[in-house]
Chains A and B, each alone.
Chain A
Amino acid sequence: AQSVAQPEDQVNVAEGNPLTVKCTYSVSGNPYLFWYVQYPNRGLQFLLKYITGDNLVKGSYGFEAEFNKSQTSFHLKKPSALVSDSALYFCAVRDSGGYQKVTFGTGTKLQVIP
């Protein structure tokens, strides 16, 4: 069975400071990893993905994520937070083999303080 953990329900960061939203995963095969963002009253929007290759993945809106196989982590990062980054962030994992089932984490609310 595959699973995703987002240990923080909420992350607060000051505008202009770097931000990190944590994610760890468990999957039997090679992982496909994703980050999504959800703004209020909107659907989830794709931010970035890791399939293979470089451990540092760059995505939309200046976000990036670092894949760490030994720690089974895929933390989302941004060098300088904007107030407009305030939203709900979801990490997701898909097993590279078998059916295309994706498991989402519980979400982390990011609050960027002006």
Chain B
Amino acid sequence: DAGVIQSPRHEVTEMGQEVTLRCKPISGHNSLFWYRQTMMRGLELLIYFNNNVPIDDSGMPEDRFSAKMPNASFSTLKIQPSEPRDSAVYFCASSSQNGPFFFGPGTRLLVL
């Protein structure tokens, strides 16, 4: 298995632009998580899905952030409009029932 796949690996954009991050979880995993990591705030859970259904989105910072999981093999995290304070590394992770998480390599986002 290729593991969790994230794209793009790096993204540089200007304030106000739309950003879409993509994630392909490990096949057979039924839970998917989006995390954000910064030096100041550490690792923050943004949202997680179980069987493609959003279970907890309380970590989504504000309405500018949205996430979808249209099927078991694909999820997106969208930021519209983006702001400089959104600059961070965004990780996607997946797991099976009660299993450990497996993290993707992350997307390093820089909003100018």
Partner of B56 from A42, A92, A101, A104 at Cβ < 8 Å = A101
Q: Mark A22-49, 1 if CB is under 8 A from B, else 0.
A: 0000000000101010000011111001
CB-CB under 8 A from B82, the residues of chain A are: none
Contact-residue size bin, chain A (C-beta under 8 Å from the other chain): 20 to 34
User: In residues 92-107 of chain B, which contact A (Cβ within 8 Å)?
Assistant: 93, 95, 97-98, 100-106
Contact B101 A51 (CB under 8 A): no
CB-CB under 8 A from A42, the residues of chain B are: 105-106
B33 within 8 A of A: yes
B interface residues, tally (CB under 8 Å): 22
CB-CB under 8 A from B102, the residues of chain A are: 46
Contact B91 A43 (CB under 8 A): yes
User: In residues 38-86 of chain B, which contact A (Cβ within 8 Å)?
Assistant: 42-43, 45, 48, 50, 55-56
Distance in angstroms from B92 CB to nearest chain A CB is 9
User: In residues 46-90 of chain A, which contact B (Cβ within 8 Å)?
Assistant: 46, 49, 51, 90
Q: List 15 A-B contacts (CB under 8 A).
A: A32-B98, A34-B100, A36-B101, A36-B103, A42-B105, A43-B103, A44-B93, A45-B103, A51-B98, A90-B43, A96-B98, A99-B50, A99-B55, A101-B55, A106-B42
Q: Enumerate the 7 nearest inter-chain pairs by beta-carbon distance, A residue then B residue, closest first.
A: A43-B103, A46-B100, A44-B103, A100-B31, A43-B105, A104-B43, A106-B42
